[in-house]
Amino acid sequence: MKRFNVLLSLLVLASLVLAACGTTPTEAPATEAPATEAPATEAPATEAPAAYECTDALGCVKIAPGEPVHLAYWGVLSGADGTLGEDSKRGVEIAIDDKGGTLLGHDILLTTEDALCTPDGGATAAAKLAADTSLVGLIGSACSDETVGGIAAITNAGLTTISPSNTRPALTDPNRGPDYAGYLRTAHSDAFQGKAVAEFAYNVLGARKAATIHDGSAYAEALQQVFADNFVALGGEIVAQEAVAKDATDMRPVLTSIAAGAPEFLYYPVFVAAGGFITAQVREIAGLENVALAGSDGIFTPDFLAAAGPNVEGMYLSSPDFSAFPDAYKSFIEKHQAKYGEAPLSIFHAHAYDATNILFAALEQVAVVEADGTVYVPKQALRDAIYATKDFNGITGTLSCSASGDCGAPVIAVYQVVNADPASWNPQDAANPNPKKVYP
């Protein structure tokens, strides 16, 4: 019995020694804990927010935290017609200022491209902008020719642009082609402007014989034809419809040909350079010493007064009717004066301001903002939201967009230049305007 107890004690001692030395691998729970206790695969599946998946037909623009909301303005910014585009660019800049420079929690970045007021310039500018995948929307172009040259690239990139100053009627014709799906405008159609000038010439001035000059641009050729059609419909006669090159400097041969028809009213809705030479030379031509002269919004700028010289005094210019704009336009003019130290350079600054705010409203409506600040802009949804604009309170009026892209309020007036000095230019001055509104 004693030997048995000794043997038992030795066995117990041996088992304690083995346990202390860790020689019991079959008892380790290492493989059991992950298999039965760890919930690692469950938490992420139920708690992490789902990432935004873009299903928009035109794709989405992603704006990461710290990156800007990228907009572009495209239109003529140099040369004789540079003030037309600069005037609208300022409208965009003031709209950005009024947003505090931010949108959807991101800074706003504005890129500009000079489109030179030509189809080729528009094509080049639009191709460059269409290749920029960070752009969410555009304001422009300035000249109708620029849009003719560039709109296909803009539309095919899934982008949408709103022009503040294109007025060629065909750009928003209900039968326009698919290239124009990404195009809208806040400017009026010249279907209204040409009619207003014809009514002024026939009904107010009493003219019965008129002549026109265009420069081959999409804008001028269409506008003078609208005028001619309406003037004839009123009972008048068109005695000549002539054309000049945009870079022509000697207008005397064309003016001499026109004089043979003895017009009482000469209408040339062209741009600054050609318009300046026509005006400066017209009184030299026998038979045109007293003909009434008229142009339109393409030369509604102090640069035209400088180019035309003293013959411009008494000339008529059609334009949007500033006096018909809501009271908010006065506040805009005050901001413009404070920011740039001068009166607006041309006539479409307010239309650019409204176009930019329509774009902002549409972006705020369709953008998807994630918790970390990342923004997704679905491009088809953005385009649809702009087209759906209705009763928008702008500084040019109450704006609603048609299915073919017309958003503007077509209120036209005729102004008269009362002082040939470019420094006197201020049509918004209530006490001493130049040019001065004379119709309606």
User: What pLDDT does 48 receive?
Assistant: 53
Q: What is the radius of gyration, based on Cα positions, of the chain?
A: 34
What does the alpha-carbon distance between residue 171 and residue 186 come to, in Å, rounded to a whole number?
12
What does the alpha-carbon distance between residue 129 and residue 305 come to, in Å, rounded to a whole number?
34
Q: Which two tokens stand for residue 140?
A: 């422009």
User: What pLDDT does 322 receive?
Assistant: 86
User: What pLDDT does 42 receive?
Assistant: 47
What does the alpha-carbon distance between residue 188 and residue 192 come to, in Å, rounded to a whole number?
7
User: What pLDDT does 78 receive?
Assistant: 95
User: What pLDDT does 409 receive?
Assistant: 78
Alpha carbon 230 to chain centroid, angstroms: 30
User: What pLDDT does 37 receive?
Assistant: 42
Q: Residue 354 in contact with residue 186, Cβ under 8 Å?
A: yes
ω before 440 within 30° of 0 (cis)? yes
User: What pLDDT does 162 receive?
Assistant: 98
User: What pLDDT does 430 receive?
Assistant: 81
Predicted TM-score (pTM) above 0.75:
yes
User: What pLDDT does 218 receive?
Assistant: 84
Could you tell me the mean pLDDT of each successive run of 10 residues in the chain, 440 residues long?
A: 43 40 36 39 52 94 97 95 94 98 98 96 98 98 96 98 94 95 94 94 98 92 95 98 94 97 97 95 97 95 94 96 91 96 91 98 97 96 98 95 92 95 89 93
